[in-house]
Amino acid sequence: MAMRNIHYSSIAIVVLIVSTAFMVPTRVSAIGVCYGRVGNNLPPPPEVVALFKSNQIDRMRIYEPYPDVLAALAGSNISLILGTLNQDVQRLALDVSAAQNWVKTNIVPHIGNVNFRYINVGNEIIPSDMAQFILPAMCNVQSALLANNINTIKVTTSVAMTVIGASYPPSAGDFTVAAKVIINPIVHFLAANEAPLLVNIYPYFAYKDNSKDISLDYALFKATGMIVQDGNFGYQNLFDAMLDSVNAAMEKVGGASVGVVVSESGWPSDGDFGAEVNNAGTYNQNLINHVAKGTPKKPEVAIETYLFAMFNENQKGPAELEKFFEPALSLCPSASSPSLIHRGFPVSELGLVKLTTSQVRVPVTPRFTTLRSPSSDCHLD
């Protein structure tokens, strides 16, 4: 996750304080949590998995195939987004045996024990010089899965909002020229396999860079009236507007049937303009309360969303902001987890995280078709 010098930048960081009040109904929640590990003071994976389970958080995203995390997840039934390292994408694209070895090493030994949901090939690589390798890498990984008779794990990639050129109004959403060249065949691949596109959406950055035009209430889901009217659709929050601009862009490249998973979202509590504890708590609680409602363009369709992230990562950088994305949703210092505090782990002063779960429901698993053999779009020219 790289810093971007544009409105819809995305960063990977964060903290989560989890207590027994962070209750996500097992196997029906649309909310997951990203588990980043760029820190030197984090609890061991078995304790992290136990934390997920004890709080009924049934979806996790990790950014590379850590053997100790995969081992800890065995038998947990936690649904997993597993990432490849960005630096591995070119090798996976150009060397079929590399993709076969990746699957053989990181997937095959854990089939039946780990609940793999998506394999995320590359994070926020589009647009860049490396972007041309994403689709061939996805195809090689999928071929390797099929060669091992694994046909239920969806292969996809994640993008930042930097891929969106036009975003206002949301119905005008379109990919940048540079991104569209890469995204177009990827979207066709995703549509053929009924896999979603993963998008990291951070209204915070749009607000920070445009605070004269974007109100804090609009960014925090607190606006009391429609702020943006786009034809028949009215928008009361920036998150929906950003997500529907992606949905509109997908339609323009033939991806109307492709779902969008919000693979990261959060708000920082320190380190820059607007990064405050109260704002972080407000944004994340309101996001959780909102995702079941869908967007104006796709109402009644719960938004699969991953809060970023599980712990403060004290080795993130270069921006200080990257250490302080906190999905701490309720200010209740007395409820901080004693076991984590006593062991010196990076638990925030925010304390208790509360999640109202009665509205946050989505089918256990989207309707997955059997993976198809990669098409000619998969090959580099």
Amino acid sitting at position 220: L
Is the pLDDT at 353 greater than 50, yes or no?
A: no
Q: Up-side HSE of residue 128: CA atoms within 13 Å toward CB? A: 18
Domain boundaries, the chain: 31-363
- Whether pLDDT at 162 is above 80: yes
Closest-CA residue to 270 (of 278, 262, 261, 282): 278
- CA 233 to each of CA 182, 191, 253: distance values in angstroms, whole numbers, following the listed order: 29, 25, 21
| CA-based nearest residue to 16, from 306, 381, 365 | 306
Out of 264, 304, 313, 326, which one is annotated catalytic? Answer: 264
102 phi and psi angles, rounded to 5 deg: -60, -45
Tokens 């196997």 belong to residue: 27
Residues 378 and 381: their CA atoms lie apart, in Å, by 9
CA distance 241 to 210: 15
Q: Is the pLDDT of residue 47 over 80?
A: yes
Q: What is this structure's pTM?
A: 0.85
Residue 281 near residue 218 (C-beta atoms within 8 A): no
Tens-place pLDDT, residues 57-94: 899 999 999 999 999 999 999 999 999 999 999 999 99
The percent of residues above 70 in pLDDT, for the chain, comes to 78
Query: What phi and psi, each to the nearest 5 degrees, are found at residue 235?
Result: -120, 125
Of 54 and 220, the structure prediction assigns the larger pLDDT to: 220
Arithmetic mean of pLDDT, 37-50: 92
Instruction: Locate all alpha helices (DSSP H) within the chain, ordered by sequence.
Output: 45-54, 67-73, 89-94, 96-106, 134-147, 177-192, 203-209, 216-219, 238-252, 277-290, 338-342
Catalytic residue, candidates 124, 304, 313, 322 = 124
List the one residue out of 159, 273, 253 whose CA is nearest residue 212. Answer: 273
What is the CATH superfamily name and number for domain 31-363?
Answer: Glycosidases (3.20.20.80)
Range with lowest mean pLDDT among 26-40, 95-109, 125-139, 366-380 = 366-380
Question: What are 155's strand-pairing partners?
Answer: 119
CA–CA gap between residue 270 and residue 204 (Å, rounded)? 12
CA distance 232 to 216: 24
Distance CA 24, CA 150 (A): 29
Helices (H), 163-309: 177-192, 203-209, 216-219, 238-252, 277-290
CB burial of residue 364 (10 Å; 0-12, 13-18, 19+): exposed
Asked whether 17 and 311 are in contact (CB, 8 A), the reply is no
Q: What is the DSSP letter of 161?
A: G
The closest alpha carbon to 147, from 108, 120, 181, 192, belongs to: 108
d(CA 348, CA 324): 9
Is 264 part of the annotated catalytic residue set?
A: yes
Give 252-284 pLDDT, tens digit per residue: 999 999 999 999 999 998 889 999 989 988 998
Q: What is the pLDDT of residue 261?
A: 98
> For residue 377, what pLDDT is reported?
64
47 catalytically annotated: no
